[in-house]
Structures are given as structure tokens and as C-alpha cells.
Amino acid sequence: MATCKVSGQESGLPSSTRAEAEDLELTELGPLLEVGRERKGQTSTCGNENQAAKVTQEEEEEEVRVLTLPLQAHHAMEKMEEFVYKVWEGRWRVIPYDVLPDWLKDNDYLLHGHRPPMPSFRACFRSIFRIHTETGNIWTHLLGFVLFLFLGVLTMLRPNMYFMAPLQEKVVFGMFFLGAVLCLSFSWLFHTVYCHSEKVSRTFSKLDYSGIALLIMGSFVPWLYYSFYCSPQPRLIYLSIVCVLGISAIVVAQWDRFATPKHRPTRAGNFTSHHLQQ
């Protein structure tokens, strides 16, 4: 009965009183609810951070893969190039004129037997022992270089009793042998390595034509010296003309346009006129 009364009384409370009681309960439970919300927020934040860390780690791994792939490809290409170089140096075949690159097409009258572009100087120098269009040029100039070098040293070492004016005549013959040695050395080097690359071919082509001019100049020194042995003034004039023409030919030979196959007749005409004028 008491219980019923109490419950009746509680149920009989006014609505305003019940609302106050509920607000009181919510107020008391507020900190607990906030703590629960914070824990949920922390849990969700930790989950988001872990997820973000995983995403960041995956992105870093992906970036590492992206950066590693080009390096691996680069190393693979280097190994492939080394392999190709070794094979190329060991085994190669002569090719026809039509297959040559434009910078190697210097003589269109030689249709077969050309060397392909070589990947290294070692391969170029090893090619002198093979048969191709430059074999004759290489060996004739190489043997001539050795011969004139030997004769030049032998002449310079001869006793002074074999000369009427030892110092002057040794200088005169030294100029001749120097021009011959430089011309033949530049020439055999050019014919050996000109198939290496376009830049190397152009550089040694300039040296080759410069050597030809030096040989022409040096070959005229003994002739003019003994022809005008008793006439120093005309000898000096002719020597000056020879030097001016030779230096002009060397300067012209340094032009890149002058070294192209298109100007082969121009080069031949320049050196022929230089020789005839002298």
C-alpha cells in the first residue's frame, strides 16, 4: 500500500517537477557523457591517424618504387650498352655505302667494304688489322710515318762534318722531316678513327688537312734554301709567300663547313692551287 502511495505520489508529480528532475539527472551524467564522447573522438581520431599513416606510408613506398624504376632501367641500359660494345668490338662486318650515315659518306665511288660507326677508340685501332676501304690509307701513312721519323732522327744525329753549314742545314732538313712526320701521323690517325663519331671525324679531318699544308710548307724549305743558296733576299721572299699560303690553307681547313663531303672538290682545289702557286 505504501509503495503504491509513493508511486502514486511520484506519478502524481507535476510535469514541471519531472522536467527539473530529468534536467538534474542529465546534469549529473553530463561529465560522464562528455568523457564517453571524448573517448569515442579519441578512438576515431586515432583510427584516422593510423589510416592516414598507412596511406602516407603507402604513398612513400609508391614514390620509392617510382624513383627506383628509372634507376633500374638506367642501369639495365648501361649494362646493355656495355654488352653491345663488347660484341661490336669483337665482331663487325663491312657495310655498303648506302647504309652509312651521312657524316661517313665521303667517297661515293667506293660502294662496298666500309666500316660501320665504331663505339670506341679501341675498336677503331683494332680495325687496322681488318680489310676495309681504309686499310690501305692507314698502313701506307703509318709505315711512311715510321720511315720519315727514323730518317729524320738519323739525319739530325749525323756528324757535323757531313754538312757545310751544320746548324742551318739541320734546321732546313728538320723543317722538312717535321712537316712529313706531322702530315703522315695526322693522316693515319684520321683514317683510323674517323668512323668513331661525327665530332671525332671532324676534328681529325681538320688535323689531316693541316698536316698536308705543313708538309707542303716543309717540303719547300730545302728546295728554296739550296735553289737560292747565294741569294738570301729572294729566298726570304719566297719562304714568306710559302708560309702565308700554308697558314691560309690551315685556317680555311678549320671551318666545319669546309670538312663536309659536299666541299670535297673545294678542298682538293684549294690544296692543288696552293701547291701550284708555290
Please, which pLDDT band fits residue 91 given cuts at 50, 70 and 90?
Answer: confident
Q: Quick: pLDDT tens for 38-79.
A: 554 554 555 555 666 665 666 666 655 555 666 666 666 666
Q: What is the mean pLDDT of the chain?
A: 77
275 among the known binding-site residues?
no
Q: Quick: pLDDT tens for 251-273.
A: 888 887 766 666 666 666 665 65
Q: Quick: pLDDT tens for 126-152.
A: 999 999 999 999 999 999 999 999 999
DSSP string, the chain: -HHHHHHHHHHTS-HHHHHHHHHHHHHHHHHHHHHHHHHHHHHHHHHHHHHHHHHHHHHHHHHHHHHHHHHHHHHHHHHHHHHHHHHHHH----B-GGGS-GGG---TT--S-BPPPPSSHHHHHHGGGS-STTHHHHHHHHHHHHHHHHHHHHHHTS-GGG-SSHHHHHHHHHHHHHHHHHHHHHHHHHHHHTTS-HHHHHHHHHHHHHHHHHHHHHHHHHHHHHHTTT-HHHHHHHHHHHHHHHHHHHHHHT-TGGGSGGGHHHHHHHHHHHHHH-
Q: Quick: pLDDT tens for 145-169.
A: 999 999 999 999 999 888 888 899 9
Confidence (pLDDT) at 125: 95
Average pLDDT value for residue range 90-101: 87
pTM beyond 0.95: no
Given a cut of 50, whether residue 238 has pLDDT beyond it is yes
**Could you tell me which residue, 193 or 30, shows the higher pLDDT?**
193
Please, which pLDDT band fits residue 203 given cuts at 50, 70 and 90?
Answer: very high
